[in-house]
Structure 1
C-alpha cells in the first residue's frame, strides 16, 4: 500500500453521491486522523450511512475517498478489506451459522480463491474471540445469542479482518443501555490498545458525545458543523437541524442531550 505513514486514515474531498438521480451527499470534506474516533450525527436522511458506505468502498467514489493516503479506487477489493472493516446496522447472517464460522468470514481477504483457512487464520479468530470474551460461544448459533452478544460477534468478525479502520453504522441501535455501554467501552479499549481508527454513525447523541474525539453534523447531505462534542452538541445546532427541543447538560465525559417538551403556545 502506498501513501505516507503520516497520511490520515480517512480523507474525503468533495464526496458526492447520488442515488436514482437524488443527491444524498453534496460535497462532503472530512479528515479522520489515525487513531481518532469520529462520530457522524444528523437527522434521518442526512446521508450518514451513505457516507460510511462510500468510505467502505460499497458505493463508487474513487476520486473522493483516500484511505491511509491511497485513493480507494486504487485498492483491490481484497486489499481494501485488509484495511477497512464495517459493522453494519443489521448484518445478514446465514441461517444456522455458528459463531466460529461467522467470525472466520473475516479472514476471507487472506484465504486464496478456492482455498481453505489456515492454522494461522484459526489462531487469529480464536484470539479475537478470547479478547471479546466469546471463547465459550464457538459452536453457538448466532440466532440464539442476546443482542449484546451478537454485536460482539459482529465486531469480532470485523477485528478478524486485521483492519485498522473500523466503520460502525449505528452499532448500538438494537441494544439496551447496558449493552450499548458494554460494546462502546470495548471498542474504545481496542482503539487505545491496538491503534484502531473509528468512524461511526450514531443516533443516541448523549452516548455518542461521551466516546467521540470529534463529531460531524450532517444535514441534507452537507457538513454543517464539525468539532469536539461540546462544540457540536449545542442547543442551537440541535434545534436548527433536528427541529428538536432539547437541553444540553455538561457531563463528566461530554455533553448530555436531554429532550424536553416544547412549551405550549
Structure 2
C-alpha cells in the first residue's frame, strides 16, 4: 500500500452505525495522522468500541473509513491484516490453545496458504513474548493464565502481526498498575521506533491523558470534544458528559483526573 505525504493513517467521515435497531454512532468524523496516538474516551454506551470495530473492518461501514488513503472495503482481508491489528476487550480464544500458538496467529498474513510458519515468524513471536514479560509462557494454555497475563498475550498477538495501525480497546483493563505502565510504555516505544499509529479506548482518564497526543470524547454516539488532553480533560466537560465530580490537576505528562465526593 503506497501513501503520499500527508496521507492520514485513519480517516473516518460521517460514520453511522445501527445495531439491533439502535443508533450507536451518529455521524462521527475522525482523522488520525501517521505515527499519532489518539485515545477515545466517553461514558459507557458512548460507542467507543463500535468506532474501533468499524476502523478495524469488523463492522460494515461502506465509504466511511479509509486506512492510509485506501477505502477499507477495497482491502482484502489478508492485506488489511498487514495494515491494522486489533486488541479487543474479550477476544474469542479456541479451547486448549497454547500461548505460542495463539500469538503465532498474528503471523497468519505472512504465512503462505497451506504453508507453515518460518523461523522468522517464530523469532518474531518469541521477541514479542520477551518484551511483554512473558518468557517461558509459550507452552502454557491460555485458559490457565490470570486476566492480566491473558491481556498481555492478546497484545502480543497484535504486535507479532507487524501492522502499522494498532487498535487497542481497553488494553490495560485487567492489568495491575505496574503492568499497565509496562504495556503502555512498550506500545509508545514501538510507536516511536516504527512509526506505529495507535488508536485506543480507555476508561482510566489520567492514564489516557499521559499517553495520548490527542483525545476524542464520544457521548451519545457523537464527537463531543476533540483536542489535546488538556483541552478535553476539563472539569466542565467531564461533569457534563460523565456526570462525574472530579478535580483536574496538571501532571508531568498530562492532566490528572481525581474523583471527588459530591458535597
2:216 alignment partner in structure 1 = 216
1:173 alignment partner in structure 2 = 173
Residues of 2 paired with 1:131 and 1:69: CA distance?
32
Residues of 2 paired with 1:14 and 1:225: CA distance?
16
CA deviations on 1:185-231 (whole Å, 9 max, x unpaired) are 12111111221111000011111111111100000011010001010
1:19 alignment partner in structure 2 = 19
State yes or no: 1:74 paired with 2:82: no
State yes or no: 1:106 paired with 2:130: no
Residues of 2 paired with 1:14 and 1:70: CA distance?
16
Residues of 2 paired with 1:124 and 1:182: CA distance?
19
Contact 2:209 2:229 (C-alpha < 8 Å) held by counterparts: yes
CA deviations on 1:77-102 (whole Å, 9 max, x unpaired) are 11000000000112222222211111
Residues of 2 paired with 1:158 and 1:261: CA distance?
39
CA deviations on 1:224-257 (whole Å, 9 max, x unpaired) are 1000101000010001101111111111111111
Contact 2:36 2:213 (C-alpha < 8 Å) held by counterparts: yes
Name the SS for the 1:136 alignment partner.
Answer: coil
Residues of 1 paired with 2:185 and 2:256: CA distance?
17
Residues of 2 paired with 1:34 and 1:128: CA distance?
23
Residues of 1 paired with 2:61 and 2:4: CA distance?
21
Name the SS for the 1:137 alignment partner.
Answer: coil
Residues of 2 paired with 1:257 and 1:78: CA distance?
41
2:160 alignment partner in structure 1 = 160
What is the Cα deviation at residue 171 of structure 1? Answer: 0.7
What is the Cα deviation at residue 132 of structure 1? Answer: 2.9
Correspondences of 1:244-255 after superposition (within 5 Å): 244-255=244-255
2:131 alignment partner in structure 1 = 131
1:55 alignment partner in structure 2 = 55
Contact 1:38 1:214 (C-alpha < 8 Å) held by counterparts: yes
CA deviations on 1:31-75 (whole Å, 9 max, x unpaired) are 111111100000111000000000000001131101011100110
Gaps of 5+ in 2: none
Correspondences of 1:174-193 after superposition (within 5 Å): 174-193=174-193
Number of aligned residues:
263
Contact 2:218 2:225 (C-alpha < 8 Å) held by counterparts: yes
Residues of 2 paired with 1:175 and 1:203: CA distance?
13
TM-score by length of 1: 0.94
